[in-house]
């Protein structure tokens, strides 16, 4: 009987991406640890991030790792503008991050218009953001390094 690990090896899903990278000799020198926080999104962005776990993107090869706590993250990704109840939790997550850190805010639907005044925002994406676009931004941040 064929075992799962061999079944897995029988398919090649990884896509060959071409990115405009910084002129560093080794594109895999840096890695980026990412913590994703759902601040009240309609699940779309969460599912886009879930798609990034597909072998097609092969995120580990590019040095991108998703972690389970902001205490071990370089980058905090906030999905949608926080609901009133989530705002203090998002701010506390930022407080827990080790320095240097960056914050990436992604909004696909904005109900409330107010300024968040969050520190160290390295990227603010708006509109219908797809997995591939998020992936490219993460690569850019990973390759460029966090300057905060």
Question: Would you count residue 148 as binding another protein (CB under 8 A)?
Answer: no
Whole-number Å distance between alpha carbons of 7 and 25: 36
Can you tell me which of 43, 100, 114, 119 binds another protein, judged by CB under 8 A?
43
Candidate ranges 21-29, 49-57, 98-106, 114-122; the one touching another protein (CB under 8 A) = 49-57
Name 66's bridge partners. 34
Q: Give the other-Cβ count within 10 Å of 116's Cβ.
A: 16
Q: Rule CB under 8 A: is residue 56 a binding residue for another protein?
A: yes
Distance of CA 35 to the CA centre of its chain: 7
As given in the structure block, the two tokens for residue 60 are 């580990």
Give the x-and-dash track for 57-86 against another protein (CB under 8 A): ----------xxxx------------x-xx
Closest to 33 in 3D by CA, of 116, 115, 104, 111: 104
* Residue closest to 138 by CA, chosen among 16, 33, 39, 12: 33
Q: Compute φ and ψ for 123, nearest 5 degrees.
A: -155, 135
Regarding 31 and contact with another protein (CB under 8 A), the answer is no
State in angstroms the smallest separation of the CB of 137 from another protein. Answer: 17
Asked if 8 interacts with another protein (CB under 8 A), we say yes
- Contact positions vs another protein (CB under 8 A): 1-2, 4-5, 7-8, 11, 13, 35, 37-44, 46-48, 50-51, 53-56, 67-70, 83, 85-86, 89-90, 93, 109, 111, 128, 130-131
């Amino acid at each position: 009987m064929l075992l799962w690990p061999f079944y897995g090896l029988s398919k090649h899903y990884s896509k060959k991406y071409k990115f405009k990278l910084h002129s560093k000799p080794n594109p895999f020198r840096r890695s980026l640890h990412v913590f994703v926080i759902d601040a009240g999104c309609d699940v779309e962005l969460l599912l886009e991030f879930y798609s990034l776990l597909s072998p097609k993107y092969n995120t580990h090869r590019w040095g991108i790792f998703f972690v389970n706590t902001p205490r071990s993250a370089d980058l905090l990704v906030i999905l949608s503008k926080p609901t009133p109840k989530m705002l203090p939790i998002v701010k506390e997550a930022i407080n827990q991050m080790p320095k240097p850190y960056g914050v990436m805010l992604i909004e696909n639907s904005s109900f409330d218009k107010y300024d968040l005044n969050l520190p160290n925002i390295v990227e603010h994406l708006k509109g219908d953001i797809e997995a591939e676009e998020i992936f490219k931004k993460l690569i850019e941040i990973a390759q460029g390094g966090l300057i905060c």
